[in-house]
Structure 1
Amino acid sequence: MTTIATRSHLDVATHVAATIDGIFAMIDGWRDLLEDRWRADASLSAVRVDPVVEAFAVPAVSGDTLLTGAGFVATPGALADAEWHLAWWLGGSGADRSVRRLATIDDPSHEQFRDYTALEWWRVPTATGTRHLTGPYVDYVCTDDYTVTITTPVRIGDRIVGVVGADALVDRLERTLLPVMRTGATPATLVNASGRVVTSTDARREPGSILRADGLGDALRRPVGPRTALPGGAAVVPCGDTSLALVVGT
């Protein structure tokens, strides 16, 4: 018989943080690269930016990876030759691992044009000036599947010229995180800063649903130390600075 060691919830949260931190570090590197290019050429155009983005986005979504999309989205008017511009590459799934560029409509007069500045993955990081994790949500633009999107601003001086980021499919995250989460001492649910479920050892808690528990909202906004007790015996364990947290003991 195989015995599976039980981990503390703090250990599980540390593993979750390490997984997400790897994605954060990659995106931060892309941001730094784009900021360096912009400082060297203040009149950057889509023609010049796109090859730079393609060079980091295509490897990131190729092969066996958590990421299914990656790229850069420009602030309207930031590029010399494109008022609106989205340079985003998508990885394949299943047997088809080919990488393609996301087709977009950048003409505001077109009936299918979509103002990306109204979307959470753009709106929040450009308002706060810091990285943001959006989702899980059904990404009807790229994947038609439950997705987590991480974006961070690209800044030149006081001006945000766009966001750079990546998409991760929830089912890929589940395959990576659930085996470790199941080794915790009690059931665990991974939620974002709004209490939306990313994944859970409880099959009844579906990705994208809202976890409701007394005191959960306050605990997610203002965690107290490595573990914040909730009424009824549950607790919230933050996963580093990822904005994710484990809700355990429920």
Structure 2
Amino acid sequence: MSRRPGPAGAAATLDATPEAAVAAQVRCTLETVFEAVAETRADTAALLTRVAAQGRRPASVDLAALRPGLHLRLARQELVSGVGFVAAPGLLGDVPAWLEWWQTSSEGEVRPLLLDLDPLRSAYSDYTHWDWFALPRDTGQRAVAGPYVDYLCSDEYSLTLSAPVHLEGRFVGVAAADVYLRHFEAAVVPLLQLLPGAAHLVNARGRVAASADPAHLAGSLTKGPDFGAALARARPARLDGMRLVPCDGVPLVLVVLDG
């Protein structure tokens, strides 16, 4: 997308601790993207429920009903560069795998992602090992994957936010949205720079999502504490000269080094 969102709330009064205030701002920034994910999940679950009520398996053509909502989310959410539903293998009756995925080009055009998912020809036929698919499937929770070079969709350095979709308690795929890293950094790095110590954001895997610390570059892996456990604790902690502050429901941890 051509728009570059600014650091909403960067000049806001910092209540509680500065770290807690910055973590709250990061949460607000990503919750706008997770809203798009939640809407896609709800639309997909409702669609699959209607198909099941007809006594048949869904097919890829059924997922076309999701497109008006996906297009609306691309137009409405500044941070969202791609959005859609990724089916669990075997869900659909006519194809082994499917991405009902739409994205915005650099010229602002909304277009579908067209992939060859034939397992005999395509390197992308098995997407189930990617964190944006595996984490929601395995944990039942929302996930932030990356940043990584998104060869599947845009060839851009991106984050993918995702959530599991269930039908009668059965996992059927993920709803997800992409955010270009440059847009995310424009929104959150100025917030990190407000803090007195070097600061960066990591996901549950310890991968740096954004950073104002030259020792921890975006996309690198951070060694040290169990960030998944820090997210599960859902409260700030000090460990080995670092302050760990979960971003209150969004699966990122703010890491601030003691000055």
Aligned residues of 2:201 and 2:253 also touching (Cα < 8 A): yes
Question: Secondary structure at 2:40's aligned position in 1?
Answer: helix
Aligned residues of 2:41 and 2:85 also touching (Cα < 8 A): no
Aligned amino acid, residue 24 of structure 2? T
> Corresponding residue for 1:115?
126
Shift of 1:71: 0.6
Give the share of equivalent positions with the same residue, in percent: 32
- Cα 1:45–1:5 change in 2 (3 A) is closer
Alignment equivalent of 2:104, drawn from 82, 91, 100: 91
Shift of 1:139: 1.3
Q: Summarize the alignment of residues 1-250 of structure 1 with structure 2, pairs less than 5 Å apart.
A: 7=14, 8-42=18-52, 43=56, 44-52=58-66, 54-62=67-75, 65-93=78-106, 96-213=107-224, 216-217=225-226, 220-222=228-230, 226-232=235-241, 234-250=242-258
Aligned amino acid, residue 59 of structure 1? L
Shift of 1:238: 0.9
Aligned residues of 1:10 and 1:226 also touching (Cα < 8 A): no
- Cα 1:5–1:71 change in 2 (3 A) is closer
- Cα 1:144–1:182 change in 2 (3 A) is same
Provide structure 2 residue ranges, at least 5 long, that are not aligned to the other structure: 1-10
> Scaled by the length of structure 1, what TM-score is found?
0.86
Aligned amino acid, residue 21 of structure 1? E
Residue by residue, what CA displacement relative to the aligned partner does 1:126-157 show, whole Å, maximum 9, x if unpaired? Answer: 22222222111221111222211112121111
Deviates more, 1:141-150 or 1:107-116: 107-116
Q: Which runs of 4+ in 1 moved over 6 A?
A: none
- Cα 1:121–1:6 change in 2 (3 A) is same
Aligned residues of 2:230 and 2:246 also touching (Cα < 8 A): no
Aligned residues of 1:62 and 1:97 also touching (Cα < 8 A): no
RMSD: 2.2
Aligned amino acid, residue 32 of structure 1? A
Shift of 1:6: 7.6
Shift of 1:23: 1.7
Aligned amino acid, residue 170 of structure 1? L
The whole-number CA distance in structure 2 between the counterparts of 1:130 and 1:45 is 26
Aligned residues of 1:67 and 1:166 also touching (Cα < 8 A): yes
The whole-number CA distance in structure 1 between the counterparts of 2:122 and 2:230 is 43
How many residues align structurally? 240
Aligned residues of 1:152 and 1:164 also touching (Cα < 8 A): yes
Question: Secondary structure at 1:180's aligned position in 2?
Answer: helix
Provide structure 1 residue ranges, at least 5 long, that are not aligned to the other structure: none
The whole-number CA distance in structure 2 between the counterparts of 1:75 and 1:226 is 33
Question: Secondary structure at 2:249's aligned position in 1?
Answer: coil
